[in-house]
Amino acid sequence: MMTFRSWKAAVMVGLTLLLIIPLYQLRDYSTAGEYKQYIYDHISHYLNREGGVYNNTLYQQGAETTVHQQFNFSSPCENFPNTDGILLVMKTGATEAFDKLPTQLLTAMQCLPDFLLFSDLEQQIGKYHIYNVLDRVNDTIKSQQAEFKLYEAQQTCPVSQKDCTGSMKGAWDLDKYKFLNMVERAWDMRPNMEWYVFAEADTYVVWSNLVYWLRERAKPEEHPYVGSVALIKGFPFAHGGSGYVVSGAFMKKMIELIPNVAAKYDEKAPHECCGDLLISMALDEVGAKVKQAHPMFNGEKPNTLPYGPGHWCEPIFTMHHMNSEEVSAVWQYEQTRTKSERMQIKDLYHTFFAPHLVPYRKEWSNGADDTCYIAPDEAAQEDAGNHEKGRQKKEDEKNAVEKMAHQSPSACSLVCESAGLDINEQEFNALETHTERLSYIRGKYSEKDGDINFKKDRKCFQWKFQRNMCCTGKSFKLGAPKFEGETKNRHTSGWFVKGINDWVEARGECEQVAWRDPS
Ligand SMILES: *[C@@H]1O[C@H](CO)[C@@H](O)[C@H](O)[C@H]1NC(C)=O
Ligand SMILES: *[C@@H]1O[C@H](CO)[C@@H](O)[C@H](O)[C@H]1NC(C)=O
Ligand SMILES: *[C@@H]1O[C@H](CO)[C@@H](O)[C@H](O)[C@H]1NC(C)=O
């Protein structure tokens, strides 16, 4: 049945056509294309409500210089790279699949002609099949290892997984069995690809950058296994959540040179922490050592990336811990960005951080922890965490500003404001209020106005204050809210806004994309 709205729309379309048809006859359209454009501009939105064009919500949130005002969704894959020979192998688990996959499938993955989804349960999500990659794990292991209780509960759940296993533990330990089983199964199902891209359901992949790099710059013979390197007991491996690539040639070697590679590593799994380490051990057996390509493969995301020196002109391939909303937002950015150059880390700053850069936020942690200033008394020292204590500046090495930093958020904020300035200890100590101190420091800062090197060499960008403790950071991160129960424990985080803006300006345009060769 037609609703009132659609009746209204139909009447409007009818009236519009009545108006346009005589207009078409009157106006001299030189080409059919021009007429089509006229129809598109003037009436297509009645036929197909928004016509796939919407106000861009990123633009509304302050990123006016980096994105277009409108989000045109009519051909999302138009600029997507050709991925022939490159296969995405995405790992998930039954406890998270339906939280994370739908947005992945609605965004970049709609443009991939093929991919494999592996999990610890056979499931279907719309037209996509999720394979259970643990079905061949030896029954002895399944009956002996506690994590397979979760696996069993998943297989026998008569309702939704959320209802059955929402409160069960074991997903993390189950995960490590997947890696080598995925290698075996991916090779069975899609053999002889040039590259296999391994990612997780909360990994964001910037396909334009990754595919360009795999085709034009990567060397599969020299560097067959590349990602963001982590170490466990001195053994290097590519961190799984950051995504990593393995050349087809070395996938083949693992399959052919290690008999029953999955079963062999299933037996090792109970004794090792994690599957990304296990796959590195298997690749090591066939002669492939992991190569580091950080920060291109990255474990952070727009609000946790440490922007600044080393994280600016570098291109980005992956991000991790991306929830559905974040995946969607970065995809929207990719779709609406005003620049056509390769996406660099600074672009994420300009879109997701700069519009929200303020002097401070209460009950917030920006993760500043490079140098800490803790009150020297015994109680405060005992109170501080080991991490912060390990990074604290000794009392006798602190300058006049730093000596006060642990007293309050505003005292803490002065550490970055005064960094690198010529502060006269006596003059500073004679000042009585924060306002006086701030204006003294700002006066000194303004003397550096024309000094581009001073601005470019900045090493203190942000701070975080919590009871008796001030920590500063040599990069700038947005961070996230952090709530502590008691008022006295609350975090306040801040950014030296002028120092950041001056650094960005002094740093200037990127002369070129700062590719990092795997090492
Ligand atoms: C889109 O944005 C424009 C300009 O800000 C505004 O006038 C218009 O009402 C918006 N349209 C919708 C559908 O929200
Ligand atoms: C949206 O994209 C389509 C296809 O690329 C194009 O034909 C159309 O003109 C675009 N619309 C707007 C408003 O940009
Ligand atoms: C499973 O493991 C047990 C114990 O290691 C072994 O005896 C058995 O043969 C294995 N089963 C299969 C099907 O490989």
pTM for this model (two decimals) = 0.89
| Amino acid, single-letter form, for residue 443 | G
Q: Do strands 225-227 and 291-292 pair parallel, antiparallel, or not at all (unpaired)? A: parallel
CA 49 to ligand 1 center in whole angstroms:
14
Buried residues in 91-121 as b, exposed as e (16+ CB within 10 A): bbbbbebbebbebbbebbbeebeebbbbbbb
d(C-alpha 200, C-alpha 48), whole Å: 36
Relative to the alpha carbon of 138, which ligand is closest?
Answer: 3
d(C-alpha 114, C-alpha 174), whole Å: 26
Q: Which atom of ligand 2 is nearest to the CA of 41?
A: 13
| Amino acid, single-letter form, for residue 488 | K
Ligand 3 pocket test, candidate residues 136, 137, 139, 140, most atoms within 8 A of CB? 140
CA 54 to ligand 1 center in whole angstroms:
9
- Residue nearest atom 12 in ligand 2 by C-alpha distance: 72
CA 5 to ligand 1 center in whole angstroms:
20
For 123, residues 6+ apart whose C-beta sits below 8 A from its C-beta are 94, 97, 129, 130
- Residue nearest atom 14 in ligand 3 by C-alpha distance: 138
Q: What is the pLDDT along the chain (519 residues), one digit of tens a residue?
A: 444 455 555 555 555 544 454 444 445 555 555 555 555 555 555 555 567 899 999 998 889 999 999 999 889 999 999 999 999 999 999 999 999 999 999 999 999 999 999 999 999 999 999 999 999 999 999 999 999 999 999 999 999 999 999 889 999 999 999 999 999 999 999 999 999 999 999 999 999 999 999 999 999 999 999 999 999 999 999 999 999 999 999 999 999 999 999 999 999 999 999 999 999 999 999 999 999 999 999 999 999 999 999 999 999 999 999 999 999 999 999 999 999 999 999 999 999 999 999 999 999 999 999 999 999 999 999 999 999 999 999 999 999 999 999 999 999 999 999 999 999 999 999 999 999 999 999 999 999 999 999 999 999 999 999 999 999 999 999 999 999 878 778 999 999 999 999 999 999 999 999 999 999
| Amino acid, single-letter form, for residue 279 | I
CA 68 to ligand 1 center in whole angstroms:
13
Task: Give the residue among 203, 154, 153, 147 at the shortest CA–CA distance from 171.
Answer: 147
The answer to whether 499 touches 458, Cβ cutoff 8 Å, is yes
Q: Kindly state the helix (H) or strand (E) to which residue 229 belongs, with its residue range.
A: strand 229-232
Q: Cα 246 to the chain's mean position, in Å?
A: 21
CA 67 to ligand 2 center in whole angstroms:
16
Query: For residue 479, what are the CA distances in angstroms to 61, 67, 193?
Result: 17, 22, 39
- Residue nearest atom 11 in ligand 2 by C-alpha distance: 72
| Burial classification of residue 391, based on how many CB atoms lie within 10 Å of its CB (0-12 exposed, 13-18 middle, 19 or more buried) | middle
**Which of the 8 DSSP states describes residue 206?**
-
CA 252 to ligand 3 center in whole angstroms:
25
Question: What pLDDT does residue 311 have?
Answer: 98
Q: Which atom of ligand 3 is nearest to the CA of 267?
A: 5
Decide whether any atom of ligand 2 lies within 6 Å of the 72 Cβ: yes
Decide whether any atom of ligand 2 lies within 6 Å of the 519 Cβ: no
Task: Give the residue among 373, 412, 413 at the shortest CA–CA distance from 395.
Answer: 373
d(C-alpha 468, C-alpha 488), whole Å: 10
Relative to the alpha carbon of 266, which ligand is closest?
Answer: 3
d(C-alpha 421, C-alpha 499), whole Å: 12
d(C-alpha 329, C-alpha 323), whole Å: 10
Task: Give the residue among 201, 94, 96 at the shortest CA–CA distance from 155.
Answer: 94
Residue with tokens 């006269």: 424
d(C-alpha 224, C-alpha 290), whole Å: 8
Task: Give the residue among 333, 294, 349 at the shortest CA–CA distance from 316.
Answer: 294
Alpha helices in 370-479 (DSSP H): 378-383, 386-390, 400-404, 409-418, 425-429, 434-446, 452-456
Helix pair angle (275-285, 248-257), 10° resolution: 80
d(C-alpha 464, C-alpha 368), whole Å: 6
Strands (E), 95-138: 115-119, 123-125, 128-132
Alpha helices in 27-123 (DSSP H): 32-42, 44-47, 57-60, 97-106
User: DSSP assignment of 272-335, as one string?
Assistant: SS-HHHHHHHHHHHTT---EE-TTTS-S--TTT--BBTTBSSSB--EE-S--HHHHHHHHHHHH
Question: What pLDDT does residue 51 have?
Answer: 73
CA 250 to ligand 3 center in whole angstroms:
27
The answer to whether 276 touches 239, Cβ cutoff 8 Å, is yes
Ligand 3, CB within 6 Å, residue ranges? 138, 140
d(C-alpha 515, C-alpha 349), whole Å: 18
